[in-house]
Structure 1
Amino acid sequence: MSEPGSLLRSLSGKPAARNFHTFVINEIGASIVAGRYPVGSILPSDAEMMANFGVSRTVLREALRTLEAKGMVEARPKVGTRVSQRSRWNFFDQQVLAWHFEAELDADFVSGLFDIRAALQARAADLASRRRNAEQIRLLKYWVHQMELAEDDAESHALAELEVHRIGVEASGNPLLRSSIGLVELTLALTAIAGPDEAARRAARTALTGHCQALVSAIEKGDSAASATAMAEAIATGRDRAVTGRRLSRP
Structure 2
Amino acid sequence: MQQFAARGVHGQTVEVLAQRILTGQLPEGHTLDLIALQSEFDVSLTVLREALRVLAAKGMVDARPKRGTFVRPRAAWSLLDPDVLRWQFARSQRPGLFDDLHELRAIVEPGAASLAAARATDDDLAALDAALRDMAAAGDDASAAVAADLAFHRALLAATHNELVQRMEVVIETGLAERDRMVHGAAGPNDPVPSHKAVVEAIRRRNPTQAARAMGKLLDQAIEDVARLERTQHENRQD
The TM-score bracket by the shorter chain reads 0.7 to 0.9
**Structure 2 counterpart of 1:214, from 198, 213, 216:** 198
Aligned residues of 1:215 and 1:227 also touching (Cα < 8 A): yes
Change in CA separation of 1:153 and 1:81 when aligned onto 2, cut-off 3 Å: same
What secondary structure does 2:69 align onto? strand
1:113 aligns with 2:97: no
Q: CA deviation at 1:217?
A: 1.6
Question: CA 1:163 to 1:51, structure 2 compared with 1: closer, same or farther past 3 Å?
Answer: same
Look up the match of 1:128.
Answer: 116
Q: Displacement, 1:176?
A: 2.2
Q: Is residue 151 of structure 2 the alignment partner of residue 163 of structure 1?
A: yes
**Contact kept in structure 2, 1:118 and 1:235, CA below 8 Å:** yes
Question: Does the CA contact (< 8 Å) of 2:4 and 2:12 recur in 1?
Answer: no
- TM-score normalised to the size of structure 2? 0.84
Measure, in 1, the Cα distance between the counterparts of 2:56 and 2:171: 20
Could you give the per-residue CA deviations for residues 136-174 of structure 1, whole angstroms, max 9, x where no partner exists? 211110111100111312221111110111111112122
Q: Which residue of 2 aligns with 1:5?
A: none
2:91 is equivalent to residue 91 of structure 1: no
User: C-alpha displacement at 1:230, in angstroms?
Assistant: 2.1
With 214-223 and 188-197 compared, the bigger mean Cα shift is at 188-197
Q: Does 1:53 align with 2:41?
A: yes
TM-score by length of 1: 0.80
Q: Which runs of 5+ in 1 are unaligned?
A: 1-13
Q: Are the aligned partners of 1:162 and 1:184 in contact in 2 as well (CA < 8 Å)?
A: no
Instruction: For residue 157 of structure 2, give the secondary structure of its aligned residue in structure 1.
Output: helix
SS in structure 2 at match of 1:115: helix
Q: Is the 8 A contact 2:29 2:72 kept in 1?
A: yes
Distance (Å, rounded) in 1 between the aligned partners of 2:229 and 2:29: 32
Give 2:121's aligned amino acid.
N
Distance 1:104 1:218, change over 3 A: same
- Deviation track 1:65-93 (CA, whole Å, cap 9, x = no partner) reads 22122222222222122222222222222
- Structure ranking higher on relative contact order (CA contacts 8 Å, 6+ apart): 1
Preserved CA contact (<8 Å) 1:191 1:241: no
CA drift of 1:17 comes to: 4.2
Q: Aligned partners of 1:227, 1:75: CA distance in 2, in Å? A: 49
In 2, distance between residues paired with 1:196 and 1:56? 39
**Secondary structure class of the residue paired with 2:91:** coil
Identity %: 30
Q: Aligned match of 1:21 in 4, 10, 13?
A: 10
Which residue in the other structure is 1:227 paired with? 211
Instruction: Work out which of the residue numbers 193, 206, 217 in structure 1 matches 2:182.
Output: 193
Does the 8 A contact of 1:191 with 1:242 survive in 2? Answer: no
C-alpha distance in structure 2 between counterparts of 1:129 and 1:43, whole Å = 52
Q: Which runs of 5 or more structure 2 residues have no equivalent in the other structure?
A: 235-239
Question: Following the alignment from structure 1 to structure 2, what is the Cα–Cα distance between the partners of residues 196 and 147?
Answer: 15
Superposition misfits of 4+ residues, deviation over 3 angstroms: 14-17, 194-197
Q: Which protein has the larger Cα radius of gyration, Structure 1 or Structure 2?
A: 2
Hey, what's the Cα distance between the residues in 1 that align with 2:8 and 2:228?
Answer: 37
Cα offsets for 1:37-95 (capped at 9, x unmatched): 122222232x3223333333333223222212222222222212222222222222221
